[in-house]
Structure 1
Amino acid sequence: MIFIAGPTGSGKTSVSIGLARKIKNAEIISADSRQIYKHLSVGTAKPAGKWVNIEGYRAFIYENIPHHLIDIIEPTEFFSAGDFVELSNEAAAETKKRNNIPIFVGGTGLYIDSFIDGIAKLPQKNEQIRKELYELEKKEGRAYLHNKLKEVDPESAVNIHPNNIHRIIRALEVYHITGSPISIWHEKHKKSLKSKYEKHTIFALNWDRKILYDRINQRVEGMLENGMIEETEKILTKNPAIVNSPALKSLGYKYVVDFLNKTINFEQMKSLIQQVTRNYAKRQLTWFNKNKDINWINCDNLEIGEITEILWKKSLQSE
């Protein structure tokens, strides 16, 4: 089982395609918390593939390689790490049944860790409780809900960023459903969901910080040139209520909405998207640096083909 991790803008998609071609019988499983959404492609750097029926199964095909867990849910839907573990296990099992090799690719460290180490299966969502909590957030603000979480579950409050409203609400929701803090629930039910596969190798792409940030800045410029604004406008026209969805509050899209509402200008929007994306990359690196099992690939001064070749040779050594 091969994993290609790393921060946003590090070249994971291109390297994964190169590796899949070298392996020849590979399928890619996305570990990206944003590319799961339908209709949002440019701003999530989703591979420009299409859905195809192949030999009895349906897959998202990009560069003639089947991809899984991409383009699978509506932007209004909630998708947890537990959902990822369940669906990625299914995708990996089906891939192996076809005598193919699964390559996990993505920058969502929580997904990768949850798949490998296991995660507690959380209670079913309660839409009424969620609705009330989102309304409370709208009325009182995120800080208010984060403080409420501190009162009932101090441990989770420390681990959940005050701006991550979806995780705050999920933690409060679990508390209201079970009467138990989500941190205690995780401890009691730990590893009720986990990978069915023991052997794995994790690679992560590492760049000099300045080079990475330059890549991110250029990538954001490319997204805006290639239709991120129009993409956002189109989905809002179809469903204005989607503006409050988890997807449109994620990296970048929030500022496109502000631009469309004329509360910021184009340059401000671009600068803000670049800034939050760089900050996100920094958080990803902090997360991955905690994982001692990661094999870091130094990408400075290398072309994508050279990075792929290094990863290919290392993956052969790890077999």
Structure 2
Amino acid sequence: MSMVPHHLIDILDASHDYSAGMFFHDARRATDDVLHRGRVPVVAGGTGLYLRWYIYGKPNVPQSSMDVTSAVWSELAGFRETGKWEEAVQMVVKAGDPKARHLSMNNWNRLSRSLEIIRSSGSPPSAFAIPYNTFTKHHDTDQARDLDYDFLCIFLASPRAELYRSIDLRCEEMLADTGGLLSEASWLLNIGLRPSINSATSAIGYRQAMEYLLHCRQNGGESTPQEFKEFLTKFQATSRNFAKRQITWFRNEKIYLWVDASQPFDAVVQFVCDAYHDCDARVVPESLEMKRESCILTSRDLKTYRSENKVFLGDDDCHHVLDWIRRTQQK
């Protein structure tokens, strides 16, 4: 990271919330700054909705005042604390947003935002024009013309089983180093935050780690190898499910070129450079192309997928983590 300037890192306190609208303004500002200096911005990510708004523009939805945000927080607090997701959804539906029924389970941020929009404007989010929908009605979405910037959008994909294996291993590595995710989750708890109450504590990995550490604290800083492995399994499964949703999302985003990231690194980099310098080269060669349809086919073959841990093979492999928990979580 020291060789290339990075932006939008450490810009917000962990106790504050963040949204696609905030990202739109921050990312566009950073983009303009990079372009003004004669450089090329590279946007790496990420969350499909955030990138869609960044590319096509954000809906003209009213910004919630602090009073409205606080009031909505209070309205949903009881539901959130007792885990009554369905009841909370029904309340938002009755308030005026029937599409709240289609939100993913426990997506409290999206549910809160929907209610904020209703309380601020009297209308649900769907009442406001979405630039992406407007653009796709009048343009081929695989063409980047008439957008604010000249975008080159590339989706790096891998064969699904290979992707899942790498995700599982990455989750193990994040937990093997107790100075990383676990320490950060512990710090979030120490400053008074709880799982799923804002953007930071809802993030995959942080939410599961905070829930696990809360359980450990309730047991006097103790945990068994079995409990740790159950936490690891949940973390891995949630991460894989997120990757699956991302693939589904980007499969429908025609502006992206799909490149097989499992191919030789130098070949992938060369294609990206060629595509940037020459618009005529923006056709993925067969040797590098990842077919969008292949994701549908391979998903059928993954019903029997099982994690094969590489780091935490037996009980002894997690003793250093349990020792760290014993030393730090006796709250």
Could you state the TM-score of these two structures normalised by the residue count of structure 2? 0.69
Name which of 277, 285, 289 aligns with 2:247: 285
Specify the code of the residue in structure 2 equivalent to 1:93: D
Alignment-derived partner of residue 142 in structure 1: 85
More relative contact order, 1 or 2 (CA 8 Å, 6+ apart) = 1
**Structure 2 counterparts to residues 177-196 of structure 1, below 5 A:** 177-186=120-129
Q: Does 1:298 align with 2:260?
A: yes
Residue 303 of structure 1: how far off its partner (Å) = 4.2
Alignment-derived partner of residue 132 in structure 1: 74
Alignment-derived partner of residue 199 in structure 1: 150
**Structure 2 counterparts to residues 92-103 of structure 1, below 5 A:** 92-103=31-42
Specify the code of the residue in structure 1 equivalent to 2:107: N
- CA distance in 2 between counterparts of 1:171 and 1:270 reads 32
Could you state the TM-score of these two structures normalised by the residue count of structure 1? 0.72
- CA distance in 1 between counterparts of 2:118 and 2:54 reads 24
Alignment-derived partner of residue 220 in structure 2: none
Contact preservation (8 Å) 1:82, 1:122: no
Alignment-derived partner of residue 165 in structure 2: 214
SS across alignment from 2:187: helix
Structure 1, unaligned stretches of length 5 or more?
Answer: 1-61
Q: Bigger radius of gyration, 1 or 2?
A: 2
Structure 2, unaligned stretches of length 5 or more?
Answer: 135-145, 217-222, 281-331
Contact preservation (8 Å) 2:167, 2:239: yes
Q: Does 1:109 align with 2:109?
A: no
Contact preservation (8 Å) 2:109, 2:198: no
How many residues align? The count is 252
Alignment-derived partner of residue 175 in structure 2: 224
Residue 173 of structure 1: how far off its partner (Å) = 1.4
- CA distance in 2 between counterparts of 1:261 and 1:242 reads 9
Contact preservation (8 Å) 2:69, 2:116: no
Report the identity percentage: 26
Contact preservation (8 Å) 1:120, 1:186: yes
Alignment-derived partner of residue 290 in structure 2: none
Name which of 199, 202, 212 aligns with 1:259: 212
- CA distance in 2 between counterparts of 1:309 and 1:168 reads 43
- CA distance in 2 between counterparts of 1:129 and 1:262 reads 30
Stretch of structure 1 that moved more, 215-224 or 264-273: 264-273
Specify the code of the residue in structure 2 equivalent to 1:316: H
Stretch of structure 1 that moved more, 77-86 or 195-204: 195-204
Alignment-derived partner of residue 154 in structure 1: 98
Return the structure number with greater strand share.
Answer: 1
Residue 242 of structure 1: how far off its partner (Å) = 4.8
Runs of 4+ displaced beyond 4 Å: none
- CA distance in 1 between counterparts of 2:8 and 2:147 reads 18
- CA distance in 2 between counterparts of 1:290 and 1:165 reads 25
Residue 139 of structure 1: how far off its partner (Å) = 4.4
Residue 143 of structure 1: how far off its partner (Å) = 1.5
Residue 211 of structure 1: how far off its partner (Å) = 0.2
- CA distance in 1 between counterparts of 2:273 and 2:130 reads 37
Stretch of structure 1 that moved more, 131-140 or 69-78: 131-140
When the two chains are superposed, the root-mean-square deviation of aligned CA atoms in Å is 2.5
SS across alignment from 1:163: coil
